[in-house]
Structure 1
Amino acid sequence: MTSRQSLGIDAEALLTVPPLSTPNPDRPPPPKAMLRYAAVQLFVERASAVLGEFTLSADDRRAVAGICHRLDGLPLAIELAAARLRVLCPQQLLTVLGDRLDLLNQGSRAAPARQQTLRAAIDCSFNLCTPQEQWGWARLSVFCGGFDLEAAEAVCAGEELAREQVLGVISELLDKSVLTMEMQPGLGRYRMLETIREYGRDLLRLGGEEAAVQRRHRDHYREFAARAEADWFSARQETWSTRLCLERANIRAALEFCLNTPHEVDAGLVLATSLWGNALGAGNLEEERRWFGQALARDTEPTPARARALRVDGWLALLLGDISTAQARSDACQDLAERLGDAESLAHAVQFAGLTALFREDLPAAVRLLEEAFDRHRATTDLWAEWMALFFLALAYCLTGDPRASAMAEQCLALCDAHDARWSRSYALWLLGLQHWLCGDTQRAIPLLQDGLRSARSGRNLLGVAQCLEALAWATAQDGRGEQAAAFLGAAQTAWLSVGIALPSLGRLLHYHSECEARLRGSLGDTAYAAAVKRGTKLTLDQATHYALGEPPTPPTSLRPEHPPTALTRRQRQVIELLAQGMTDKQIAAKLVLSPRTVEGHVYRLLAVLGFDSRTQIATWVVENSAPRQGEHDESDPLCAGRR
């Protein structure tokens, strides 16, 4: 005898039956390989029973993979979906699966009533729950991508369900297979299948609780992000980084609620700016800027939250090479900080003005402003803000040849070591390594950069990895190891792309990159240089890090796909389409209302993504790849990838 719920009796054997395996809907394998997935096998079998014959074709594979993924690999849902092939082709079926509970409402009349529709099957499970479990099911459906006990207690507790009852409700829902549990290091997390979650959201709406529960969800993650920010410069940086990564989907949902609900945008600004420390190394900078752009446009109240948001969005703009937008944000931030008059806003505004000057290569102004910002931050009690001010001032000294640079960089590193802030430590080591390289001491620079790379890898700090690989290429080239340096440049390209920023965006550093490239082309020749760079670009970040640290001594032969799976952004797709029309950077900038420098950064990244050396190659490639066969969107086509 089997049951969907644990009976809690002696001699009972518990076996978790997971959903059927499904292929990646964004990169489905060829049809024959698709049939290795149990969900696809079931879909094809049921489709054949419905139609008399059904063969999975190349035209259908993406749609079928998407259907199986949307239905969570649930056998009943897949059977009911296949039955709809009487009136819909797979592509149409995928399109209309948004409300899967209502669509999958007809099954075999010979089956028991609870198995005739997907909603009836879930109704049966729901009716087995106590009222408290039903309330818990509905409220837990507000989470995206999983949640932990702390979050569940904060969001679920309320009328009909006390905080101390939440753990018991979760336990019962686990026993009834409404929830599943997944273990992370030191943390248990729970998850609902999307179909079960959709059913719960319907209950939440019908009960009139949706807005209230969403607000509690938002409040929890706003407080969670604030704690991460307050505790960021500590030995828990890597722990916070991991937890913020796990909660990315929930944070995104909380931001969407703030932006789409009247009078909630200010709370969204607070949440978004609290993620500042983690956002730089975690990537997704284009997404971060979208959040800030929408929030700043919708809430123009002169608050400290807006001042912080202007500063953070401007800093992201600098990293993405959009100097004009950054300057506008800096001016607005300075004006608002002076109106607010509080010391913290003024200190950050002055620091941001100094950074903007640094990126504009107005080095005297940058040094003057960053010195003022450092003095202002030392008067506050914000240790992380003081460290950042110290770091940026040390970088300005380093780039201007100021003799104080080494001591300041050493101070940065010492502060990280004193607080065991490993994420920040990778930046301090990069800075110290850069300073020694600029002084011509590669014997000291290379070990420091390797140590920085090691720290960045352990904390999954993508920006730190990119910076250290890039500087290692410069130092290795100066040391006479040309092929290895070129491979490092290629690996750094991949790392920069994983962050999503121009390579590298600070003008003086980009100058060092160009000098290194010219040196290597001169010593190796164009052909050997291009081959070595390509070898580096085809390494994964993990392989590149092992290679740079001497483990193994030569690059592995395992290569990345010819075209990276990373989807292009909407802006990159616009640029690539205009490139294919033969437009210059200036013409593209005028067409898209961007600065020529921003367009140049986009083109540079597109060249790196596609592994090309010229704009003509991009244009030719677009023409050759922009007309896939009807019904098939190959994942090697970045224009199709961007539409997913």
Structure 2
Amino acid sequence: MRQRTYGHLPSELNRFVGRGGELAGLMRLLESSRLVTVTGVGGVGKSRLALAAARALDGGADSGQGSAGGAQERYCDGIRLAELACVRDPALLELTLAEALGLTDHTTRPPRTVLAEHLAGRNLLLVLDGFEQLVDETADLVQELLLRSPGLRVLAAGRRPLALPGERAFPLAPMAPDEALELLVERAAEADPGFGPDAQERAALAEVCARLDGIPLAVELAAARLRVLSPAQVLTRLEDRFALLADGGARGVLPRHRTLRTAMGWSHELCTPAERLLWARLSVFAGLFELDAAEYVCAGPDLPVEGLLDLVGALLAQSLLVREETAAGVRYRMLETVRLYGAGWLESTGDARRLRRRHRDWYMGLATWCELDWFGPRQREVRSLVEAELPNLRLALECCLDDPDEAHLGQYLAGTLWFYWAGCGRLTEGRHWLDRTLEPGPSGGSGQQEGPYESSRLKALWVLGYVAALQGDAVASMSALYECREGAAQTQNAVAAAYSVHRLGCLALVSDDMTRARELLGSALEQYRAAGELNSSVLMCQVELAMALAFQGELAGAVSLCEEVREVCEERGELWTKAYALYVLAYAALDAGATPEARRLLSECVAVNHAFHDLVGLVLALELLALVTVAEGHPAEAAVLQGAAEPMWDGVGLQLFGSGYFNAPRLMCQERAGELLGADRYAAYAAEGRQLSREALVVRAQLAPGERGRGVPSPRPAGRGGLRGTRAAGRAAADQP
């Protein structure tokens, strides 16, 4: 039976056993405290309990009933989980939280500012799991967010408290004997449906639980052994293991830490040599990984690739691996405690560096293929794949930066992911990695690099220029693009030269310098054709040239360019660039008075941009759709759409970098709808729109006119030439100093 997914929380892989008293106590504590941290030894079930509490509250928020009490009101803006166990770079902490909250921000504002502003007026529960490696940075961030966000509550899970004022620690003890036994029996039955212990066997299993101090992870590892061993055999082997280590435990290690380590070591010893080796090598992965990646990274003469699938199955059977279904397909992961144990063994073999490099090489290859597949029918799959593999891609980027002699690899990888940074709402993170790989010094490039790696640096430079332009940072964009253009000329790199000219044209476009934009974008297209380059970026150059033409009233030329782009995109199955072409075609259709066609084009555009988290494309399409809506005689609904789009500008940048042309449809819609509704009614409808979630807004934007019954006769016909005022307003704004 398909398991229910609670809002934005991951679904349970199996039943949450026991812990009824602890769960009720934790939920009571959350009612009175804004920061609660579940603490305890590794493997004691901190994460599982915190998520169980969050799901119970989420269920309460849906129903308004049950033990969640007032959860519906207290967490009316949702419950979100941020998994931090794989985050090692402090700079990525805030980005990870923003990702968990579903935030997309294209500006150069510090991510902490974006987080604080987003949370300031919201009632939300944020669950933080696995913060130990960044405890100080996490504590600092949580304290600031709690101070600035009165409606925020935080439920954290870690081995130690955050040590903040007002924090309530919730120490989690091991399971009670009866609960531990229930867990052991249930997990054993999951692995072997025929498992049914008699009274004597239950007594042996109860002693196993006692030996393991009721630590859930240790109990689950023991349960996996019941597929091949009897309860008495499990107990005997475990007793032998404890006797062996009774006097040899490390000094200063808490008894229950020693218990878990003993249980882990026991599982390790019961693995075959090949299983132990794979366990150690799999520890180089962060989060989820696929079988193909495991085969490439871990296989070798001592671990033949043809036997790896069976070994993965063996580790799954022993609960040392977890299998998960994701949007990108089947993935595997290790619990963090299991991974850390394996990482220790890998370090002891002296093979860790080689394995980390193989891991890096795999993900560089994956990024390369994703860049190629982005220009094709697998574009949505590529987005899901990179999303699923992001923790491993981050790890690969870190590996590149560990060695100054390999900075070019980091530049290549950060540049190759341009489609993800620019096309999937990841500008801030892309800027972080591009800056790091290009900065001079031990962690980046020299700035004067020569030789066979120059092309990697040039690619990173034009991608940085592109990202910075979309963030509204014209100075950084021009600096990177001029350096790229100069380097391309020196090395006769025609492709890099074309990209630098293209992105300078893009910068001119968003800066309202249409004459220069047309010159540069036209030149870039000629250079692309001469170099034989064709991909989504090249087609976007053609769309941007069409925008410059459209804004200057040359709609026939703009339509011709975008029809050509649409044809190529449909042949290739490309969606992202096609959405921008549809925007220009809708702009022309509205100018011609063909509002039904404009609405159809924009509805498709909105859906694609939302799917790819492209905030720039989404807000532009929504505001043009609002102008279409008022032209159709529905000013109230237009005001709702305008109000809903308004908060998005905070994430895009103030009025799209001050562009008069891009902002003119919004200003015209406000004027027309305001005249028809009156200032007070317009403001009320706009306020209603500001309360819509992005998902609700996208659904609403695709409704047919009049479905909400807010038609108001328009005194102006929506005939041909309806966008002439838009172009005039754009020119006027562009002429302002």
1:238 is the counterpart of 2:337: no
From 563, 586, 607, give the equivalent of 1:433: 586
Deviation, 1:512, is 3.4
Deviation, 1:231, is 2.4
Structure 2 equivalent of residue 192 of structure 1 = 334
From 318, 327, 348, give the equivalent of 2:469: 318
Cα gap change, 1:325 to 1:196, in 2 (>3 Å): same
Deviation, 1:155, is 1.1
From 149, 154, 161, give the equivalent of 2:296: 154
Taking the aligned partners of 2:157 and 2:290, their CA distance within structure 1 comes to 36
Structure 2 equivalent of residue 56 of structure 1 = 29
Contact 1:446 1:475 in 2 (8 A): yes
Deviation, 1:555, is 7.7
Deviation, 1:133, is 1.0
Contact 2:293 2:362 in 1 (8 A): yes
Taking the aligned partners of 1:482 and 1:211, their CA distance within structure 2 comes to 63
Worse-matched range after superposition: 66-75 or 131-140: 66-75
Taking the aligned partners of 2:511 and 2:374, their CA distance within structure 1 comes to 29
Structure 2 equivalent of residue 453 of structure 1 = 606
Contact 1:22 1:68 in 2 (8 A): no
Taking the aligned partners of 2:297 and 2:42, their CA distance within structure 1 comes to 28
Indicate the SS of the match to 2:36.
helix
Deviation, 1:151, is 0.9
Cα gap change, 1:241 to 1:105, in 2 (>3 Å): same
Indicate the SS of the match to 2:504.
helix
Taking the aligned partners of 1:200 and 1:77, their CA distance within structure 2 comes to 25
Worse-matched range after superposition: 346-355 or 539-548: 539-548
Deviation, 1:105, is 12
Question: Aligned ranges for residues 22-421 of structure 1 at < 5 Å?
Answer: 41=20, 43=22, 56=29, 62-64=35-37, 73=46, 93-95=160-162, 111-112=210-211, 116-117=256-257, 118-184=260-326, 187-297=329-439, 298-299=444-445, 300=447, 301-302=449-450, 303-384=454-535, 385-402=537-554, 403-421=556-574
Cα gap change, 1:58 to 1:198, in 2 (>3 Å): farther
Deviation, 1:221, is 0.9
Deviation, 1:545, is 1.7
Deviation, 1:58, is 5.1
Taking the aligned partners of 1:124 and 1:319, their CA distance within structure 2 comes to 54
The amino acid that maps onto 2:161 is L
The amino acid that maps onto 1:265 is A
Indicate the SS of the match to 1:471.
helix
Deviation, 1:106, is 11
Structure 2 equivalent of residue 609 of structure 1 = none
Q: Deviations over 1:69-107 (max 9, x none)?
A: 9966478999xxxxxxxxxx99992349xxxxxx99999
Cα gap change, 1:373 to 1:55, in 2 (>3 Å): closer
User: TM-score, with normalisation over the residues of structure 2?
Assistant: 0.62
Deviation, 1:472, is 0.9
Deviation, 1:480, is 3.4
Contact 2:295 2:305 in 1 (8 A): yes
Task: Give the aligned length.
Answer: 508
Contact 2:424 2:612 in 1 (8 A): no
Q: Deviations over 1:569-625 (max 9, x none)?
A: xxxxxxxxxxxxxxxxxxxxxxxxxxxxxxxxxxxxxxxxxxxxxxxxxxxxxxxxx
Cα gap change, 1:213 to 1:485, in 2 (>3 Å): same
Contact 1:23 1:37 in 2 (8 A): no
Deviation, 1:59, is 6.4
The amino acid that maps onto 2:522 is E
Deviation, 1:528, is 2.6
Cα gap change, 1:23 to 1:231, in 2 (>3 Å): closer
Indicate the SS of the match to 1:263.
helix
Contact 1:280 1:463 in 2 (8 A): no
Cα gap change, 1:464 to 1:135, in 2 (>3 Å): farther
Cα gap change, 1:285 to 1:503, in 2 (>3 Å): farther
The amino acid that maps onto 2:497 is L
Q: Deviations over 1:531-581 (max 9, x none)?
A: 32232232233221221111897689xxxxxxxxxxxxxxxxxxxxxxxxx
Deviation, 1:272, is 1.4
Deviation, 1:24, is 7.2
Taking the aligned partners of 2:664 and 2:564, their CA distance within structure 1 comes to 27
Contact 1:234 1:420 in 2 (8 A): yes
Contact 1:413 1:425 in 2 (8 A): yes
Contact 1:71 1:77 in 2 (8 A): no
Contact 1:489 1:533 in 2 (8 A): yes
Taking the aligned partners of 1:143 and 1:480, their CA distance within structure 2 comes to 56
Structure 2 equivalent of residue 84 of structure 1 = none
Contact 1:225 1:275 in 2 (8 A): yes
Taking the aligned partners of 1:239 and 1:91, their CA distance within structure 2 comes to 34
Contact 1:71 1:195 in 2 (8 A): no
Taking the aligned partners of 2:546 and 2:695, their CA distance within structure 1 comes to 29
Taking the aligned partners of 1:77 and 1:513, their CA distance within structure 2 comes to 44
Larger Rg: 2
Q: CA RMSD in A?
A: 4.0
Cα gap change, 1:462 to 1:66, in 2 (>3 Å): farther
Deviation, 1:217, is 1.1
Structure 2 equivalent of residue 527 of structure 1 = 680
Taking the aligned partners of 1:428 and 1:72, their CA distance within structure 2 comes to 51
Q: Deviations over 1:139-171 (max 9, x none)?
A: 112222201111111111135312222212111
Taking the aligned partners of 1:337 and 1:39, their CA distance within structure 2 comes to 64
Contact 2:623 2:665 in 1 (8 A): no
Deviation, 1:126, is 1.7
Deviation, 1:44, is 6.5
Q: Percent identity?
A: 31
Indicate the SS of the match to 2:37.
helix
Deviation, 1:444, is 2.7
From 608, 624, 633, give the equivalent of 1:471: 624
Worse-matched range after superposition: 405-414 or 453-462: 453-462
The amino acid that maps onto 1:334 is R
Contact 1:377 1:389 in 2 (8 A): no
Q: Deviations over 1:426-445 (max 9, x none)?
A: 22212211233345543432
Taking the aligned partners of 2:159 and 2:338, their CA distance within structure 1 comes to 23
Taking the aligned partners of 1:506 and 1:277, their CA distance within structure 2 comes to 25
Cα gap change, 1:464 to 1:75, in 2 (>3 Å): closer
Deviation, 1:412, is 1.2
Cα gap change, 1:417 to 1:42, in 2 (>3 Å): same
Cα gap change, 1:76 to 1:133, in 2 (>3 Å): farther
Structure 2 equivalent of residue 628 of structure 1 = none
Contact 2:635 2:677 in 1 (8 A): yes
Taking the aligned partners of 1:404 and 1:75, their CA distance within structure 2 comes to 59
Q: Deviations over 1:212-260 (max 9, x none)?
A: 2111111111111111112221111112111111111211221122223
The amino acid that maps onto 1:317 is A
Taking the aligned partners of 1:126 and 1:155, their CA distance within structure 2 comes to 21
Contact 1:22 1:37 in 2 (8 A): no
The amino acid that maps onto 2:526 is D
Cα gap change, 1:438 to 1:539, in 2 (>3 Å): same
Indicate the SS of the match to 2:346.
helix
